[in-house]
Amino acid sequence: MTRLPRLAVLPIAALLLGLAVGCSSNDADTSDGPAAAETLKIAVIPKGTTHEFWKSVHAGAQRAAEDLSTPERKIEIEWKGSQEESDTAGQIRVVQNFLTRGVDGIVLAPNDSGGLVDAVAGAAGEGVPVVIFDSALATDAADQGAETVSFVATDNFVGGRQAATRLVEAMEASSGEGKSAVILLRYKAGSESTEQREEGFLAELNENHPDVEILSADQYAGTTPESSLGAATQVLQRFEGEFKGRPAGIFAVCEPNADGVHRALKELSLTDTVSFVGFDPNETLVAGLRDGSVDGIVVQDPVGMGDRAVRTLVAHIDGEEVDARIDTGVSVATPENLDDPAIAALLDPPVAE
């Protein structure tokens, strides 16, 4: 029998012993060490990222993720959206990029009710659940394969009605005689949430205040305070002669529009002549409530909306049944109630850092 040299046997034995020890050590780490926490990745896609409203939605989404995270599972929010709410193509790209990267679910505020249907259908086709918030998809979206888990939002039609009621109250308290005259400044075609506000406003006037003359209801202001300032200035100058001697008012259906209208009223020295109600607050508009240049702000609960949307999606992923429609509430802030705790909290909601 051939024998290996003595010096050759020792390295081979050492190698075998090392392999045995190595395997034994890894087995111990696997069985005795802590298991890695699961991560649930939730994409949250707002209409845009500029306005204060979306920053508060982001804060609510983060709050839900923190509350729902456990040592065994971390909920991770991936927040991304187009800068401008008019950028529908950009929002579609955001959805598609998230699907390519791989997420466990999507929370989406479509900036165009019809434009995002195919993107949502694509998510459904890949088995990625979608919760819609703030603004609904087109009514026939499900028929096109865009199945969704739930719709979490303000009842914007009711909000529009409340805006009309408050504007009529403000006009009745103002000086002037004769039939009241109002202007509705629209936002953007295809934005379902603001379209509901516009329709609710007009429905309330037509059904319960037929004596109010609607001077203009077809003017679109665009998606920025700057475009709204220009549109509001134009329409106010056009009808300024109609305002003289009688109660007059204007309604702006979202924060950027209201910001532009407020600036136009000040620049044209019409704050004492024209009653004004907006939708969604910012620092300037809340200051307007205090100085009397703003008569009302319809307020939503953006933090609650972001929170409920994320919680609803996680519950669905966990196999729980969720409501198809979740109403997050709407109120009206006025100079008289702006310091009430519940209203004050909605006028100055937290924002994501």
Contact of 280 with 310, CB cutoff 8 Å: no
What is the value of pTM for the model shown? 0.86
The pLDDT value recorded for residue 32 is: 54
* Topology at the third CATH level for domain 156-299: Rossmann fold (3.40.50)
> Which residues make Cβ contacts (< 8 Å) with residue 38, sequence separation at least 6?
72, 73, 74
Per domain, the residue ranges of the chain are 38-154+302-328, 156-299
Contact of 332 with 162, CB cutoff 8 Å: yes
Class of domain 38-154+302-328: alpha beta
> Which residues make Cβ contacts (< 8 Å) with residue 77, sequence separation at least 6?
42, 44, 61, 62, 65, 310
Q: Tell me the per-residue pLDDT of 154-168, one tens digit each, with 9 for 90 and over.
A: 999 999 999 999 999
Residue 15 has pLDDT above 90, yes or no: no
The pLDDT value recorded for residue 88 is: 96
Q: What's the whole-number mean pLDDT along residues 302-309?
A: 98
Contact of 283 with 277, CB cutoff 8 Å: no
> Which residues make Cβ contacts (< 8 Å) with residue 42, sequence separation at least 6?
61, 65, 75, 76, 77, 78, 103, 104, 105, 106, 107, 310, 313, 314
Structure tokens at 118: 């195919």
Q: Tell me the per-residue pLDDT of 241-284, one tens digit each, with 9 for 90 and over.
A: 888 889 999 999 999 999 999 999 999 999 999 999 999 999 99
Structure tokens at 259: 């910001």
Report the mean per-residue pLDDT for the chain: 90
Phi, psi of 85, rounded to the nearest 5 degrees: -70, -10
Per-residue confidence band for 326, with pLDDT thresholds at 50, 70 and 90: very high
Q: Tell me the per-residue pLDDT of 174-191, one tens digit each, with 9 for 90 and over.
A: 877 888 999 999 999 999
Which stretches of the chain are DSSP H helices?
A: 6-32, 52-68, 88-101, 117-125, 156-173, 192-208, 225-243, 255-267, 283-291, 302-317, 341-347
The pLDDT value recorded for residue 353 is: 79
Check for a shared fold between 38-154+302-328 and 156-299: yes
Cα(127)–Cα(121) distance, integer angstroms = 10
Cα(44)–Cα(237) distance, integer angstroms = 41
Q: Tell me the per-residue pLDDT of 100-144, one tens digit each, with 9 for 90 and over.
A: 999 999 999 999 999 999 999 999 999 999 999 999 999 999 999
Percent of residues, the chain, with pLDDT higher than 90: 84
